[in-house]
Structure 1
Amino acid sequence: MNIGITDILWVFILAITLLPMIQQRSIAEKRLSLLRRIETRRHSRVISLIHRQEAISFLGIPISRYINVEDSEHILRAIRLTPVDMPIDLILHTPGGLVLASEQIARALQQHQAKVTIFVPHYAMSGGTMISLAADEIILDPNAVLGPVDPQLGQYPAASILKVLKQKNIDRIDDNTLILADMAEKAVRQVQDFVTSLLLDKMPPEQAGELAKTLAEGRWTHDYPITCDKLRAMGLATVCTDLPLEVYELMELYPQPAQQRPSVQYIPLPYDNGKKPPG
């Protein structure tokens, strides 16, 4: 049997075409195995909502991920498939996303009768914070953070649009800005009311309303990090330890796009306390 250069070339093309698919299938199986391991140990339904750029892109450009309606549809279905007396653990890593989708997820988690726990290994900002507020308990890595939930209108924070009305004569404001300001006022009020409803079963009404206002009024920039200590001071049931090791392992299975030169390097071995690195 003669094998020519053309045959070798076709085999090579087939291999490089199938290899990424095989790798993705292997990673997906490892993810499911980790979720099952956590479920077995905690006797709960484990759901992951992780938005991280993977080595999948369109024309070489990494695809940005955020909370969307498709996410809410999947999570709502997972909650419907969960017995009412079974706890839910949600592993959350997201920069935020659509208010509608975030509210749907938060409302469904709040209505679940058994305990709901949110695990945050790194950050859950904006809509991710809104979802976290629906949980009975939030467990973070000691360095993980949540963020404000102030709504954004396009590229502008709603609070900043409203500030224009206070600092500028209305006769000098164009109609488009006035329309945006009207929408911004409604968006802030709607988010504040919803966050208050999430907090009412965790604290007195007055405290819930004040905390909702703090998170939604635009007091900080949208990427302001709210640490575990600050969350505790706000009266939330927050734990900064006991994050399962499997959660960190799961995050490793959501790789960032491959680079020619890694930005961070280290020897991936734990060092015992009080002992120097080998060498």
Structure 2
Amino acid sequence: MPSWDLVQTEIKAAGSAHDILRRRYVKELSDYTGRNVILYYSGWLEKEALVRQGLTGTEVNDSDKNGFMATIHKLDRSKGLDLLLHTPGGNVAATESLVDYLRAMFGTNIRVIVPQLAMSAGTMIALSAQTIVLGKHSSLGPIDPQINGIAAHGIVEEFEKARAEIAADASAIPLWQPVIAKYPPTFVGECQKAIDWANAMVKTWLQTGMFAGRSDAAAAADAVVRELGDHALTLTHDRHINAERARALGLNVTMLEDDKELQERVLTVHHASTQTLGETAAIKIIENQDGVSFISAVNPRPVGP
């Protein structure tokens, strides 16, 4: 007969009704594809009000590596990986480290499935895969990095505009001084370095992954980076890039609607995941088809006088 402690451990492992259903659907998706499935879901949309108030942890960050280490640990890595990705993006260094780790575990046998949104650094992760699966409702975004929540391209453009106007007319100095004073002296240089770093990373990942073996791999990667990394072309960091546009860029995109059974299973996992994030304290879910999970939650505020 199991002890009280063992029963309690089993209850905690089973999780809430949200966890039980979501894990069942993730397992059914893996059974259908014959591949490993890892869910990487952020609750930045469901917890939008809290994010505006300063909630952190919904973005790609270094603590995510712990979740991926836990979920990958006992997987049969020869089956490859389907990564279900739903994220606003985040830290460039953390993104690089995460992609390096995934490739160390699975090589380039990685397919990224985007049921709704993979923006910014999320798009960078998607571009490191062999294939990206998008629905008609799915979107990628520009890969221009954010510095303290501000688009690095926007900061560089602002400084360049200030420099040009001041050079043309010194009387413009008082107008630009409050704008320039917002940033530390080295900030523009750091922004440019972040842009160059992100572009170089994505170009390398495309050449060694999605475009590997192509005679024009370097040129094709350059074209993608130029389109997705140039703020002057994408216009805004929040711009949504649909499947049709992604294909036009030369990316290896397959449509979720082409496989109705896959579509049904992916969207069921998506709905179960977003309901978990919307109806519980969870702000991020990293989980595999065996039910191994790494879930970050909102820390409750202490109650007291």
Query: Structure 2 length normalisation: TM-score?
Result: 0.68
CA gap 1:113/1:168 in 2 versus in 1, 3 angstroms: closer
Give yes or no for the alignment of 1:31 onto 2:19.
no
Unaligned 5+ runs, structure 1: 1-20, 259-279
Q: Higher helix fraction: Structure 1 or Structure 2?
A: 2
1:126-141 to structure 2, matched below 5 A, reads: 126-141=120-135
SS in 2 for 1:168: helix
Distance in 1 (alpha carbons) for counterparts of 2:65 and 2:226: 25
Structure 1 letter corresponding to 2:228: L
- Give, in angstroms, the shift of residue 227 of structure 1: 0.9
Give yes or no for the alignment of 1:232 onto 2:247.
yes
Q: Is the 8 A contact 1:117 1:138 kept in 2?
A: yes
Structure 2 letter corresponding to 1:248: L
Structure 2 letter corresponding to 1:237: N
Distance in 2 (alpha carbons) for counterparts of 1:52 and 1:174: 34
In angstroms, what is the RMSD of aligned CA positions?
2.9
Q: Is the 8 A contact 2:108 2:129 kept in 1?
A: no
Residue 217 of structure 1 is matched in structure 2 by: 230
CA gap 1:91/1:175 in 2 versus in 1, 3 angstroms: closer
Distance in 2 (alpha carbons) for counterparts of 1:104 and 1:80: 17
Residue 96 of structure 2 is matched in structure 1 by: 103
Distance in 2 (alpha carbons) for counterparts of 1:185 and 1:62: 26
Q: Is the 8 A contact 2:42 2:88 kept in 1?
A: yes
Q: How many residues in Structure 1 have an aligned counterpart in Structure 2? A: 235
Residue 248 of structure 1 is matched in structure 2 by: 267
Structure 2 letter corresponding to 1:208: A
Residue 187 of structure 2 is matched in structure 1 by: 180
Unaligned 5+ runs, structure 2: 1-11, 168-172, 174-179, 212-216, 280-305
Residue 193 of structure 1 is matched in structure 2 by: 200
Structure 2 letter corresponding to 1:245: E
SS in 2 for 1:69: coil
1:72-151 to structure 2, matched below 5 A, reads: 72-111=65-104, 112-113=106-107, 115-151=109-145
- Give, in angstroms, the shift of residue 108 of structure 1: 2.8
Distance in 2 (alpha carbons) for counterparts of 1:245 and 1:34: 10
Bigger radius of gyration, 1 or 2? 1
Q: Is the 8 A contact 1:188 1:217 kept in 2?
A: no
Query: Structure 1 length normalisation: TM-score?
Result: 0.74
Residue 207 of structure 1 is matched in structure 2 by: 220
Structure 1 letter corresponding to 2:22: R
Distance in 2 (alpha carbons) for counterparts of 1:40 and 1:247: 12
- Give, in angstroms, the shift of residue 80 of structure 1: 4.8
Greater alpha carbon shift after TM alignment, 190-199 vs 102-111? 102-111
